[in-house]
Amino acid sequence: MASSLQIAGINKRYGKADKSVEVLKRIDIHVEPGEFLILVGPSGCGKSTLLNIIAGLDEPTEGEIRIGGRNVVGMPPRDRDIAMVFQSYALYPTLSVADNIGFALEMRKMPKAERQARIAEVAAMLQIEHLLDRRPSQLSGGQRQRVAMGRALARQPQLFLFDEPLSNLDAKLRVEMRAEIKRLHQSSGITSVYVTHDQVEAMTLGSRIAVMKGGVVQQLGSPDEIYNRPANTYVATFIGSPTMNLVRGRQTGQQFEMLGLSVPLAGPASPQDVLLGVRPEHLRFDDASPWRGEVSVVEPTGPDTYVVVDTPAGTLTLRTGAQTRVQPGDRVGITVDAVHAHWFDAASEARLS
């Protein structure tokens, strides 16, 4: 049942000639059958527009969308054999849960008996059998989301599309539903494209992530690649919380010269300024290090503690264990291992190695 999805050269422009706004610029992504692709980025980056184009709710200015090999651009949504789960669930308010789930099947003129069997099957999968006769207004947020997913599952489509489905749920429910979605994807194996602005969802759910900004895919890769080898500072700071620390300076190859001090740290030599990127968990306290500063804030979170240190080269955030003894006002030294250092060109913001 799983199909591949090819997003080829998609452009989307609004307006004419010199007053046009380019919302999507040459998007090329290939999704293998059964893969779970995440489109993540801030508001306005174009991810929802791209999803709508895949769905057929919007048309690209240029490019092709190939589902299972055939180009669907120009085809109305109903002919594309896709299902979509919306942020606001978009359940039909005057229909019962059962009718909501079966609506698409009804539109395709599936015989009633078959339809009801399918609805029952899906309801069992999502554990909502007891809700089948209720109206959407009588359901909680989490229940509504399940019904929305049930509606999509009932279709057995070639492609699943998710448009920020968890954004309207409270934190605890979000964690539960995330696991639910992952489980459903594993059992159904249907190719999925999932849009979110939440980087935690992106990292936990996706088999591959496309980080988007300004209508361009900044990086496309597995969660591991995105996290450990970010292609530019935008991806580096977007993924990971607290955000990666960035320090500006000069790298000779052996020595990193920052504002006010210089530390022995190997990296790619460059005549221009570079940015050193270090994730909070990779910074360590080291009394012997020449890189010193004063602790300004200590934030215990339970399992970890975030320590904010003001140094002459900039303010850094460290993540350390819960049992740390550091206090605000302490003078400390910090260091990082070369293997955990990321290097970016300061001007282009692109990765250097």
Partner 1 sequence: MKNSFENWLPRLVVAPAFVLGFAFIYGLMVWNGVLSLSASRMLPNYEWVGLAQYEKLWEMDRWWVALKNLAIFGGGYVLGSLAIGVVLAVLLDQKIRAEGALRTIYLYPMALSFIVTGTAWKWLLNPDQGLEKLVQGWGFPNFQFDWLVNTDRAIYCVVIAGIWQSAGFAMALFLAGLRGVDDSIIKAAQVDGASLPRIYWRIVLPALRPVFFSTLMVLSHLAIKSFDLVMALTAGGPGYATDVPATFMYTMSFSRGQIGLGAASATMMLATVAALVVPYLYSELRSKPHER
Partner 2 sequence: MSAKPSLTATRVLVYTVLAVAALFFLLPLYAMLVTSFKTAEEIRAGHLLSLPAGLNWDSWSTAWSSACTGVDCNGLRPFFWNSVSMAVPAVLISTLWGSLNGYVLSLWKFRGSDTLFGLLLFGVFMPFQVVLLPMSQVLGWLGISSSIGGLVLVHCLAGLAGTTLFFRNYYSAIPGELVNAARIDGAGFWQIFWRIVLPLSTPIVMVTLIWQFTNIWNDFLFGVIFSGTDSKPITVGLNNLANTSSSVKAYNVDMAAAVIAGLPTMAIYVLAGKFFVRGLTAGAVKG
- Which partner in partner 1, partner 2, none is near 88 (CB below 5 to 8 A by kind)? partner 2
- Sorted by sequence, the CB contacts under 8 Å of residue 249 that are 6+ apart come out as 256, 257, 258, 259, 273, 274, 276, 313
167: DSSP letter: T
Which pair of structure tokens corresponds to residue 103? 């609506």
- Which partner in partner 1, partner 2, none is near 123 (CB below 5 to 8 A by kind)? none
Is the separation of the CB atoms in 208 and 222 below 8 Å?
A: yes
103 lies in the binding site for partner 2 (CB under 8 A): yes
Which of 77, 242 has the CB closer to partner 2? 77
The crossing angle, in degrees rounded to 10, of helices 141-154 and 171-188 is: 20
Out of 73, 95, 173, 352, the residue judged to bind partner 2 by CB under 8 A: 95
Number of residues binding to partner 2, judged by CB under 8 A? 24
Minimum separation from the CB atom of position 61 to partner 1 (A): 8
75 lies in the binding site for partner 2 (CB under 8 A): no
Residue of 211, 197, 138, 142 lying closest to 164 (CA atoms):
197
Which of 56, 223 has the CB closer to partner 2? 56
Q: Which residues bind partner 1 (CB under 8 A)?
A: 59, 74, 76
Q: Are strands 191-196 and 159-163 parallel, antiparallel or unpaired?
A: parallel
5 lies in the binding site for partner 2 (CB under 8 A): no
Q: How far apart are CA 213 and CA 43, in angstroms?
A: 9
82 lies in the binding site for partner 2 (CB under 8 A): yes
112 lies in the binding site for partner 2 (CB under 8 A): no
Which of 87, 243 has the CB closer to partner 1? 87
Helix (H, G, I), strand (E, B) or coil at 104: helix
Which of 134, 250 has the CB closer to partner 2? 134
Q: How far apart are CA 260 and CA 314, in angstroms?
A: 10
- Which partner in partner 2, partner 1, none is near 293 (CB below 5 to 8 A by kind)? none
Among residue numbers 45 through 74, which ones bind partner 2 (CB under 8 A)? 55-57
